[in-house]
């Protein structure tokens, strides 16, 4: 019987975090590194990835910075090749890269709808496909999709008005369930974290504008903090979650509980 410390230990493992240079992605990448994992940080801006990788290496692990647009198959393949050259394996994929476009449904341009879907659902599919092939060869792996509570329920437009975001995250939720069933035979665990409102550089202005409406919807009375995704990310990446797959887990201060 393994101890909890042994189950949660990620030493020697390799984790890929898309959109890992800032915000929630960096929080989770840092958590995986703190648990011992080497980390591949990807986003479209290489300089941001390099800064994050340097920060993570201060924790005593190895980090690789890769510029990658996850909606481009050739760039995802190149990231996989760089990872294999550096580390020779992949254990964890965190599909975190995403975007939103705030507009009433009646005013949302089709082009923006398509851009949101390309990054929020096509990107995770491409990354899961490319890195999943390596996991199938290994007969083990952990995939963690980052959706949102906006993919679970309708949202009050006074707090957050982005139907493309909510719709794409709803697609990611069921993508998680179906992929978990498809790849269970390969010992690949696929789970989904659905954050509530966390303040990031991308939504800081939105929060400041709608703080009262946003806070009112959260039973705990506050938005997510800088440590609030760490524990769950490590749990789902580790052997402690070896009997968990297809799970959809809100981290939202109770927002979806009422």
Residues annotated as catalytic (active site), given as ranges: 165
Euclidean distance between CA atoms 190 and 175, whole angstroms: 9
Main-chain dihedrals φ then ψ at residue 80, nearest 5 degrees = -60, -40
Euclidean distance between CA atoms 89 and 131, whole angstroms: 10
Count of positions (residues) in the chain: 258
Euclidean distance between CA atoms 236 and 143, whole angstroms: 8
Spell out the long-range contacts of 51-57 with Cβ–Cβ below 8 A and sequence spacing 24 or more: 51/21, 52/20, 52/21, 52/22, 52/26, 55/26, 55/30, 56/29, 56/30
Closest CA to 121 of 201, 215, 192, 226: 192
């Amino acid at each position: 019987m393994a101890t909890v410390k042994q189950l949660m230990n990620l030493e020697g493992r390799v984790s890929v975090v898309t959109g890992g240079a800032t915000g929630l992605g960096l929080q989770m990448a840092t958590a995986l590194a703190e648990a011992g994992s080497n980390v591949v940080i990807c986003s479209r801006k290489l300089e941001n990835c390099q800064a994050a990788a340097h920060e993570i290496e201060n924790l005593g692990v190895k980090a690789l910075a890769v510029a990658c647009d996850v909606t481009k198959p050739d760039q995802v393949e190149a990231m996989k090749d760089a990872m294999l050259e550096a580390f020779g394996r992949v254990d964890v994929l965190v599909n975190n890269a995403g975007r939103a476009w705030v507009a009433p449904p009646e005013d949302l341009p089709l082009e923006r709808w398509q851009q949101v879907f390309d990054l929020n659902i096509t990107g995770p599919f491409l990354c899961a496909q490319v890195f999943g092939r390596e996991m199938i060869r290994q007969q083990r792996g952990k995939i963690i999709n980052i959706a949102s509570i906006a993919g679970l329920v309708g949202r009050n437009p006074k707090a957050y008005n982005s139907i493309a975001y909510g719709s794409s995250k709803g697609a990611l939720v069921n993508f998680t369930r179906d992929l978990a069933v498809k790849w269970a035979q390969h010992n690949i665990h696929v789970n989904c974290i659905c954050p509530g409102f966390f303040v990031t550089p991308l939504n800081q202005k939105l929060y400041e504008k709608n703080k009262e409406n946003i806070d009112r919807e959260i039973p705990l009375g506050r938005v997510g903090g800088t440590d609030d995704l760490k524990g769950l990310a490590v749990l789902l990446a580790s052997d402690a979650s070896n009997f968990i797959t297809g799970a959809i887990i809100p981290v939202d201060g109770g927002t979806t509980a009422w």
